[in-house]
């Protein structure tokens, strides 16, 4: 029997993209809410309880409300919001984070889909801490640029308003309390919060992120090659990974591969390592689609795992 999927928030940016990615899937039945009942509590409750898997694409408070409306013990949940990402009762939905993470997701009742920004940092940093190349108390900063769809319907409307010239490049989150910092800290394994400086650009989708590393602070300075090998080894050991590691080429500059939009409309992420060993400096880069691996693509990957399918089914979008 086809699994019943309810997308609560199906008219939003993330919800719409999930619907598109699931269109044409005959193994699933997407049960939809009538447009005029999108915020009707009784109707949401009915559909949440009728679903085998509910995918919540809502602001945090509404996501918590949806979870509280589930009265049975069978509906499984993927939540795209920030509400449960550091909750130990929820599986963190970054399947490539560890060997075994996809099994955790596959067996979980509750899965927290990761934030877009955290995934680029976790993908690069977690393997380095696990390999002992960087200590947990290493001082880390993180920056990058994301397309404006990351800010949902409201930011899309601001950027696409007629007659308004949008800023090409705008830093934000300058109180350093961005809502993604707790999950970044927890899943990198760092003992203190990274200093995070996000930027939004005047393009719809896609992101490139950077972790600059001043390696001279360390007693034992790893080379760029060591860093690349640790990250590449980690992802080589992950089955069905959507994350790939570019060959080590420290002299590569200004390449289309680093364009934030290079992975648009995919669920893939590419990591790059750049280093100057003489200066003991390196930069770790991640390129992916904020709406793909950063949101809807990851949600479909997690849904597939929960339904006992190969994560690769999500390419059927
Ligand atoms: N955009 C992105 O790149 C990413 C987003 N996310 C997260 O996913 C979630 C959804 O974000 P996004 O799709 O961007 O946001 P949008 O603003 O585009 O969509 C949110 C949707 O939720 C609806 N909604 C709000 N409150 C309720 C409610 N009480 N009951 C039912 N529906 C409600 C909104 O309806 P209305 O517009 O009518 O208010 C809207 O359709 C958020 O938690 C966000 O942080 C996660 C990763 C990346
Ligand atoms: C450009 C932009 O504003 N991006 C969003 C990231 C959106 C995202 O990852 O969603 P969650 O917030 O649910 O994790 C932001 O920084 O808040």
Any ligand 1 atom below 6 A from CB of 55: no
DSSP letter, residue 2: P
Residue by residue, pLDDT tens for the chain (317 residues) are 899 999 999 999 999 999 999 998 999 999 999 999 999 999 999 999 999 999 999 999 999 999 999 999 999 999 999 999 999 999 999 999 999 999 999 999 999 999 999 999 999 999 999 999 999 999 999 999 999 999 999 999 999 998 878 899 999 999 999 999 999 999 999 999 999 999 999 999 999 999 999 999 999 999 999 999 999 999 999 999 999 999 999 888 889 999 999 999 999 999 999 999 999 999 999 999 999 999 999 999 999 999 998 766 544 43
C-alpha closest to that of 204 among 129, 290, 263? 290
Where helices occur in 74-223 by DSSP H, the ranges are 101-107, 116-130, 152-160, 181-188
- Residue 97, judged by CB atoms within 10 A of its CB (0-12, 13-18, 19+), counts as buried
Q: Enumerate residues 6+ apart whose C-beta is below 8 A from 184.
A: 117, 118, 121, 122, 142, 190, 193, 194, 196
- What is the helix (H) or strand (E) element at residue 226, kind and residue range? helix 224-236
If 0-12 CB within 10 Å is exposed, 13-18 middle and 19+ buried, where does residue 68 land? exposed
Asked if residue 105 has its Cβ within 6 Å of ligand 1, the reply is no
298: left (phi over 0), alpha (psi -120 to 50) or beta: alpha
Residue numbers annotated as active site: 116
> Which residue matches tokens 């080894």?
233
Answer yes or no: are the C-beta atoms of 106 and 84 closer than 8 Å: no
Ligand nearest to the CA of 62: 1
Kind plus residue range of the DSSP H or E element containing 300: helix 297-306
Architecture of domain 116-290: 2-Layer Sandwich (3.30)
CA atoms of 238 and 188, how far apart (whole Å): 17
DSSP of 205-218: S-EEEEEEEEGGGS
pTM of the model: 0.96
Q: Which residues line ligand 2 (CB under 6 A)?
A: 81-82, 115-117, 146, 148, 150-151, 155, 179-180, 198, 200, 294
Question: Quick check: CB of 118 below 6 Å from ligand 1?
Answer: no
∠ CA(14), CA(243), CA(11), 5° rounding? 5
Q: Which CATH superfamily is domain 3-114+294-316 in?
A: NAD(P)-binding Rossmann-like Domain (3.40.50.720)
Q: Where are the domains of the chain?
A: 3-114+294-316, 116-290
């Amino acid at each position: 029997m086809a699994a019943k999927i309810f997308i609560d928030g199906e008219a939003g940016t993330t919800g719409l993209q999930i619907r598109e990615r699931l269109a044409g899937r005959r193994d699933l039945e997407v049960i939809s809410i009538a447009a005029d009942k999108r915020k009707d509590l009784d109707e949401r409750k009915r559909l949440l309880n009728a679903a085998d898997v509910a995918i919540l694409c809502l602001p945090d408070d509404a996501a918590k409300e949806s979870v509280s409306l589930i009265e049975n013990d069978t509906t499984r949940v993927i939540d795209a919001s920030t509400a449960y990402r550091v909750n130990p009762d929820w599986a963190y939905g970054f399947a490539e984070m560890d060997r075994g993470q996809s099994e955790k997701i596959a067996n979980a009742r509750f899965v927290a889909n990761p934030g877009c920004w955290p995934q680029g940092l976790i993908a690069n940093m977690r393997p380095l801490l696990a390999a002992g190349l960087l200590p947990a108390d290493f001082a880390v900063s993180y920056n990058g640029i994301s397309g404006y769809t990351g800010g949902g319907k409201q930011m899309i409307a601001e950027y696409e308003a007629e007659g308004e010239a949008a800023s090409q490049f705008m830093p934000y989150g300058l109180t350093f309390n961005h809502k993604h910092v707790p999950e970044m800290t927890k899943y990198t394994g760092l003992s203190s919060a990274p200093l995070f400086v996000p930027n939004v650009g005047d393009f719809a989708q896609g992101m490139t992120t950077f972790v600059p590393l001043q390696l001279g602070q360390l007693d034992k300075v790893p080379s760029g090659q060591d860093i690349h090998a640790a990250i590449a080894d980690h992802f080589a050991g992950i089955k069905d990974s959507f994350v790939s590691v570019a060959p080590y080429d420290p002299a590569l500059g200004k390449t289309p591969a680093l364009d934030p939009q290079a992975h648009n409309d995919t669920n893939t992420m590419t990591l790059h390592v750049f280093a100057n060993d003489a200066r003991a400096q390196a930069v770790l880069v991640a390129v992916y689609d904020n709406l793909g691996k950063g949101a809807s693509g990851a949600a479909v990957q997690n849904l597939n795992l929960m339904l006992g399918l190969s994560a690769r089914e999500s390419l059927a979008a």
